[in-house]
Amino acid sequence: MRTSLFRMVLHNTFVVLFKFILNNMLYPALLSILLTPNDTVLPAPVELESITITAQSRSAEQHISGAGIVLKQKEVLAFDQTDVNTVLQSQPGVYGQQEDGWGLRMNIGIRGTGTLRSSRITLMEDGVLTAPAAYSAPEAYYTPVIWKYSNIEVLKGAAQIVTGPQSTGGALNFVTPVGDEKSDFKFSLAAGAFDQIRGAISGEILPTNRTQLLFGLFHNEASGFHTIKDERSGGFDLNDGYLKLIHHLDNKDIHHLEVLIAGTSERSQQTYLGTTLPTALLTPNERYFASSNDEMSMDRLMTRLGYTMNLKQGFIRADIYRQYVHRNWYKLDKIDAGNGAISIVSILDHHQNYPAEFDAINGDNSDSALAQLKANNRYYLSQGVQLRGQFTQRFGNILLKHETGIRLHYDHADRFQHSDKYHIGQNVFALMQPGLPGEAGNRIDYTTAQSTYYRNTLSHKRLNIQAGFRTENIQANRIDYGSNDADRIGVEVKDRTNYSTVFLPGMSLNYSLKNWNSFAGVHRGFTPAGSKEGVLPELSLSGEAGIQHLKLPINITFFYSTYDRLLGSDAASAGGSGSGELFNGGAAEVYGFEGQYGKTIKSHKVLATLTATQAYFKESFSSEFDGWGEVNAGDFMPYIPRLQFAIKHQWDRNRWSINSQLQYLSARKSTAELNTFDLPQSLVINEAISYTLTENVQLKLSIQNVTNTRHLVAARPAGFRTFAPRMALLSINVSL
C-alpha cells in the first residue's frame, strides 16, 4: 500500500508539473522562438558561488586554500561511463569500489575513508545535502545519476569546514546546470552491448525576459551481463530527470529565485549474493539460481527552493529542501537445508562446511530446502533549511572574506520489512510462506541536527590565511515497534536517544607566486555516532600540504589523517546482519600523497593522476564488523589501494577525437584481519572515438574495458564480484 501510494504521488506530481509547464511556459516559449527573432536579454546569471563550494576563479582571494578538483561535464562523459565509481576513481585521493558493473551503487571514499556506500563522505547537490538520510542512515543506497551535472566538485582539506556532517576525508558536490541564457536543445541516443539503450534530452528555454527554464530527461536500460542457468540476468531500467526554474526578480542582478524538482526511478535485477572465489575466477558472469527473484525498486523525489541575493561584496543564499526516497531491495537472505537458517555470507565464506545449503543456492539440491528472501523496504525523508553568506571587506592592502552558514536539518529512515519463505529444489523456486508486514524490521531512526560554520580568509598580497570552525549539535533517535506491531500502536515499543555536540576548528594558508599556489592546512573532522547510547562520534585530525598551478592541471599534495574511535557499521552491505548498528573501534592512521599532471602538445593532451596511500590500524581490537574482524595493530584498512594511477590521452584532429584511458589499482584487502591481499591488482583500458558530422551532430563509439579483464573488485556484500566485461556503446549526439 505504501509503495503504491508513493508511486502514485510521484507520478501525479510529474504529470501536473509537466502539464503546467507545457501549457504556461513551453508552448508560448516555443512559439516565440519559432515565430520571432530571439533577442531576449536576461540579467546576469545566478551567482555560481552560491551553489558551488569551490570558486570559479583560481585567484588567491577566492582559492579554496587546499586541494580540490572540479570535473566538467565533458570530462565526466568522455568515455560515456555511467559508473561513477570508475569515473571518480581516476581523480587523485579518491577511491572507488565497483559492485554491480553499471554504477547503480556508489562506493566512494576520499583520503583513506571507507568506500562502503559512500557513507564516510558528504554527498551534496548544489551545496545542499542529497543523501536519503545523511545523519540517520548515511549508508543508504543513493547514487547520483551523473549525466546531468555541469560540474562535480571533489572537495578535500579546507572544504571540510563548509560541508558536513561527515568531515574527515571530504565531500562530493554535484552541480546542476545554471544555463547560459540562450535557448538550446541537446539530444543523445545510444545502443550497445548487453541490450543497452540510453537516451537523454536536455535544454534551456527563456519563457520571459527574466526567466530560464532548464530541463533534462534520461533513460538507461540493459538486460545485464550475468546469467542464471543460461538465462540473462542482472538487467535494469533507470529513469532520471529534472526541471529547474531560475527567475530574476529584478533587472539589477540582485535578487534571484530558483526552483528545482528532480526525480529518479530504478527497477533492477540486482542481488547481494556474490559467488565463491572459484566461480568468480572461472565463470565471472555466473549468478546462482537462488538469486532469481532478487530485485531492487527505488523512487526518489527532490524539491528545492533557493533564493540568492547578490551583493557588491558577496552574496546571501537561502535553500529550503525536501527529499523523499523509497526503496525496496527484495533479496535472498538465508537458506535452511535442515540445519537451521544460515546466512548467505556464512554459506559463501565457508561453502565447504555447508554443502547442502550451497547446493540449494545453486538450485542443484535433490532434497527440498527453504530460501528466505527479505524485503528491505525503507522510506527516507530528508528536509531542512540552509542559509549561507559571503561578505568581503578591504582595508588597504588587506582583504577579508567572511563566510558563514547555518543548517537546520531533519531526516529519518523508516524500516518496514518482511521475509518470505520459498521452496527451493532442483530448478524449483516457489513461494511457500509469505511474511508478515514489519516482522523483519519495524522501526524509525530519526535525527534532528543543527550545524553552523564560520570561515575567515585574510589576504595580503600573495598570502592567504584562512581559519574557521564548524559545529554540529545532533540528537539521534530510534523508535522500535517490534516484529508484532504492524499497525504501530506502541504495544512493545522501545526507544532510545543519543546526543552529540562537536566543535571542529580548522586553519590553512596558501601563498601564490605567479601562477603557482602553495598551501597547508590542518582540520578537525568527525562522523556522527547514530542513536545507540554510549557510542561516541568518530573524531579525526587531518592535515595537508601541497602546491598547484592555478591555471593548469598540475598539483601534488601530501595528506595525513589520524582517527580516534573509528566507527563501524553492522550493515548487510558490509557482510553484517543488516541491523545498521554503529559501534566504536580502535584508532587508525592514513597518510600519502596525490598528484596530477597535465600537458598539451599541439593536438595531443595528456593527463596523469596518482595516489599513494598507507592506511592501517594503530590499535589491536576485536570487531564484529565483517570488514575488520580480529584486528592487530599494523593491519591495513580494507578496500584502500596502496597505489592507484590513471593516464588519459586525447588526440583531436579536424573532425576526429580519440580518447584513451588507463586505470591501475594495486592489490587490496577485503577484510583487515587477512594476511594476504585477496583483491589483486588490476589494469583497465577504455577508449572513445568520436567524429563530428556537422557543427551540431556527433557520432561516438565508446569501449569500456577494452582488454576484457575480469579481476576481482569486492568480496562483499556476500561473496566475490568481478569487474564488468568489455562493453561497446555507439551514440549520436545532437545539439541545437
pLDDT in tens, 592-631: 999 999 999 999 999 999 999 999 999 888 776 667 878 8
Please give the residue that has the higher pLDDT: either 625 or 196.
196
Quick one: cell of 152? 562535480
Percent of the chain past pLDDT 70, that is, above it, reads 89
Residue 60: pLDDT over 80: no
> How confident is the model at residue 531, as a pLDDT?
92
Question: Which of 21-25, 479-483, 529-533 is predicted with the least confidence, judged by mean pLDDT?
Answer: 21-25
CB distance 256 to 248 below 8 Å: yes
CA distances from 701 to 193, 217, 220, 724 (A): 12, 22, 17, 18
Mean pLDDT of 293-317: 96
Three-class DSSP category at 452: strand
Residue 28: pLDDT over 70: no
One-letter amino acid at 647 equals I
One-letter amino acid at 344 equals I
Percent of the chain past pLDDT 90, that is, above it, reads 76
CA distances from 570 to 282, 616, 629 (A): 31, 20, 12
CA distance 542 to 520: 11
pLDDT in tens, 99-119: 999 999 999 999 988 898 999
pLDDT in tens, 216-230: 999 999 999 999 999
CA distance 651 to 469: 45
DSSP classification of residue 356: H
Residue 87: pLDDT over 80: yes
Domain boundaries, the chain: 40-735
pLDDT in tens, 325-358: 999 999 999 999 999 999 999 999 999 999 999 9
Mean pLDDT of 57-80: 72
Residue 159: pLDDT over 70: yes
Q: Could you identify the residue written with the cell 558530422?
A: 693
Residue 9: pLDDT over 60: no
The DSSP secondary structure of 583-645, one letter per residue, reads: EE---EEEEEEEEEEEEEETTEEEEEEEEEEEEEESS-EE---TTT-EE-TTPBPTT--SEEE
Mean pLDDT of 69-91: 93
> How confident is the model at residue 18, as a pLDDT?
42
The closest of 721, 644, 693 to 88, measured between CA atoms, is 644
pLDDT confidence tier of residue 62, bands split at 50, 70 and 90 = very low
Pairing of strands 555-564, 712-714: unpaired
DSSP classification of residue 73: H
Three-class DSSP category at 11: helix
How many CA atoms, within 13 angstroms, populate the side-chain half-sphere of residue 342?
Answer: 23
CA distance 242 to 581: 35
HEC string of 503-517 equals: EEEEEEEEEEECCEE
CB distance 130 to 145 below 8 Å: no
Which residues partner with 519 through β-bridges?
Answer: 510, 546
Residue 121: pLDDT over 90: yes
Respond yes or no on whether the N-terminal peptide bond of residue 45 is cis (omega within 30° of 0). Answer: no
CATH classification of 40-735, choosing from 3.40.630.40, 3.40.50.2000, 2.40.170.20, 3.40.309.10?
2.40.170.20
CA distance 86 to 406: 34
pLDDT in tens, 391-446: 999 999 999 999 999 999 999 999 999 999 999 988 889 999 999 999 999 999 99
Three-class DSSP category at 150: coil
Mean pLDDT of 525-531: 90
Q: Could you identify the residue written with the cell 596502496?
A: 642
CA distances from 518 to 64, 507, 544, 545 (A): 12, 15, 11, 8
> How confident is the model at residue 573, as a pLDDT?
53
